[in-house]
Each structure stands twice: as structure tokens, then as C-alpha cells.
Amino acid sequence: MTLQHEKAYVRVPASSANLGPGFDTLGLALNIWNEVRFQVTGDSLVVQNRGVLSEFIPKPEENLLVIAAKRVFAQCGEEFPRGLTIESQIHIPVRSGMGSSAATILAGILGADSLLGNPLDRGEILKIAGEMEGHYDNAAASLFGGLTLALDRPMGTLVRRYDVPAYQLVICTPKLGATTNEMRKILPQTVSLSDAILNIGNAVAVVDMLRSGSIGMLDVVMQDTLHQPFRLQLIPGAEQAMQAARAAGAKAVAISGAGPSLIAFCQPDQAAQPVGQAMLQSFRQLNQPATFLITTPAETGAQAFS
């Protein structure tokens, strides 16, 4: 196998994982996209980042985009190009709970795969991304689009994708909040039988309601006992903002991924702006700066073109 193309263009959507009770298994692709261009040229590695919070993107040697691309070349037994320019247009906020690291990893994998002539199938791509992330929920949603269930088991990775209606989704991101590592460290290592049973039932119901569009009781079944009660302690003002979203008409609210963002679900024909404003005002009343955006589920997943 040799380098098949000198250019590649990749689009990868954001994602919201967990969705309440689906800890490390459920993910929803969001219509917020990072765009990355690869070009084999020159005699050195050049990485250019533009867009939201791009100042937080690490140096090339520590950049997940580059690390993922190099992993693909190594797995395929190929030498990484001596000269490669990577230009990223970043629309997914980093450190936000919207799957920015999974999207970055996927972009690197898909870009490298495209340059090599697409030797990897989707299962292999997801396996690399999941191993690099440590879990598969964000990567599966960004790769396949829609609502996904991803389970990594010794015999292989099981992924199921579901179409969902065009819900209005409000993502509210406070400025203050712990890192993903801190959010994981706070989680208990054991849970009670009653808590496990509650989460199992709620996770099944979340999938059914999101698929069917019957989300009248979605907020009830999005209740979780495994991670949200603990992570909310590290997001000042989050519980009040969730209550404000419900009062403004949101059908359900949950922590997006590990946070600090919150995701509120509204019906497809519902005005979502009041929900975002209510969450924003709630955070600000507690002197907590925040921003919000409104989006919809992404019907398609990541795309790569040579």
C-alpha cells in the first residue's frame, strides 16, 4: 500500500453522550461540524487551527488529530508523510462536553485513511477512535450520525444507530466547570442494585422515546444515579439552570457528556430560544458566565473526501 491521494477533506459532527442514564453507551450526533483539510506538501508537519477556542488546541506533537493520523499510518504499515499540512476549522467548542476530542480523533483517522485510499472499514475506524478515547459513545455518534448505542465487548464492538426527529436542542455551556478527568475521578466505583436497575430501565426508555418522538416523559427517564448527581456538584449553578430550562418548556435536560454543558430537549416545532435564555439567566444570577447555542440532531455522520 502506498499513498493514494495528496489531499483529503473531512467533516465530523459534535456529539452529546450519556443522555442521562446511558453512561458511556448512548450518544447523539449534533449539527455542529469541524472541518479539516489535509494536504501532502512541503517537508514538515504544519497544523493550523481556526475557530472557537482554538487557542486551547495543543502543539502538533500532542494534538490528537496528528496522533490519530499517525496511528492509522502505523497500523497500515506505511510511513507518515514527511511534509503534511493540516488546516482545521473548529466549530465544536473544546472542553465543553460536546465530543470535541472524539471528533478530533475521528478527523485524524479519516484524513489518514483517505490519503491511503480508504483501507479501513467503519468498524476498524471506530475501534481506533474508541481505544484512543477510552469509550465509544461519542465516537460512534460522530461516525454514524443520529442516536447511537455503542457497546465494547471482548468479542467485538456492537453499534446500533437510530433515526430521531429533528428536535430543537439547546446546549448551554457555563464558563466554570471541572475537566473530564476530574469528572471521572469523582464517580463511585460501586453502585447499589436499586441504582443499577433504575439506570437500566431508564436507558431503554430514553432510546425508545427519542426514536418515537414521544418525549412527554423524557425528563423522567433521563434521571440517572451513576454519574449526574456527582458531576453536578462540580458545575456551579447547573441544577438551577436545569430547573429553569424545564420551567421555560424544555421536555428534558441532562449533562452533555461529562459537562460542563447541559443539553435541553425541545419538540421539533418548539421555540427553543426561551429555554436557552432561561438557562443563561439562571447561571448569570449566580455570577456564572455562560453561553448557549441551538442545534438539531445530525442525520449523517462523519464524511471524508479525497
pLDDT the model gives residue 5: 86
Work out the angle at residue 133's Cα, subtended by the Cα atoms of residues 204 and 44, and round it to the nearest 5 degrees: 150
Q: In the predicted model, is pLDDT for residue 58 greater than 80?
A: no
Mean residue pLDDT across the chain: 93
Q: What residue type is 77 in one-letter code? A: G
- Cβ neighbours of 268 (radius 10 Å): 13
Give the number of other CB atoms < 10 A from CB of residue 190: 6
Looking at 3.30.70.890, 3.90.110.10, 3.40.50.2300, 3.40.50.300, the CATH number of the domain 168-295 comes to 3.30.70.890
Whether residue 190 has pLDDT greater than 60: yes
**Percentage of the chain surpassing pLDDT 90?**
82
Peptide bond between residue 260 and the one before it cis (omega within 30 degrees of 0) = yes
- Residue 53 confidence (pLDDT): 59
pTM: 0.94
Which residues in the chain are classed under CATH 3.30.70.890?
168-295
The Cα 213–Cα 251 span in angstroms is 11
- Between residues 9 and 52, the one the model is more confident about: 9
Mean pLDDT in residue range 26-54? 91
Q: Does domain 7-163+298-305 have CATH number 3.40.50.2000?
A: no
* Residue type present at position 268: P
**Distance between CA atoms of 53 and 284, rounded to whole angstroms?**
21
For the cut 90, the answer to whether the pLDDT of residue 3 exceeds it is no
H or E element at residue 127: helix 122-133
Q: Give CA–CA dist 222/219, Å, rounded.
A: 5
Q: Mind listing the pLDDT tens digit for each residue in 65-117?
A: 999 999 999 999 999 999 999 999 999 998 899 999 999 999 999 999 999 99
Range in 13-17, 174-178, 274-278 the model is least confident about = 174-178
- The CATH 3.30.230.10 domain(s) of the chain lie at 7-163+298-305
**Residue 113 has what pLDDT?**
98
Confidence of residue 186 (pLDDT cuts 50, 70, 90): confident
User: 72: helix, coil or strand?
Assistant: helix
- Stretch (H or E) spanning 263: strand 262-266
